[in-house]
Amino acid sequence: MEGLRALLSPLVVLLFGADLPGQPIVELKGHTAPVYAVAFSPEGRYLATAGFDQVIKIWDLRNGTSPRTFSCGSGKILTLAYSPDGRWLSAAGSEGSIQICDVAQGKEKLELPAQEGYVYAVAFSPDGRRLLSCGADGLVRAWDVRDREVCATLGFRGCPLYAVAIASDS
Closest CA to 84 of 149, 50, 39: 39
CATH 2.40.10.10 for domain 5-115, yes or no, is no
pLDDT 10s digits, 48-92 = 999 999 999 999 998 888 878 898 877 899 999 999 999 999 999
142 neighbors 151 (Cβ within 8 angstroms): yes
> Which pLDDT score is estimated for 9?
74
Percent of the chain clearing pLDDT 70 (strictly above) = 97
51 close to 73: Cβ distance less than 8 angstroms: no
pTM recorded for the entire structure: 0.89
CA distance 160 to 8: 23
**Spatial distance between the Cα atoms of 131 and 57, rounded to a whole number of angstroms:** 22
Q: How confident is the model at residue 170 (pLDDT cuts 50, 70, 90)?
A: low
Phi, psi (rounded to 5 degrees) for 160: -55, 145
| Full strand arrangement of the beta sheet holding 46-51 | 35-40, 46-51, 56-60, 65-70
pLDDT of residue 73: 75
The ranges assigned to domains in the chain are 5-115
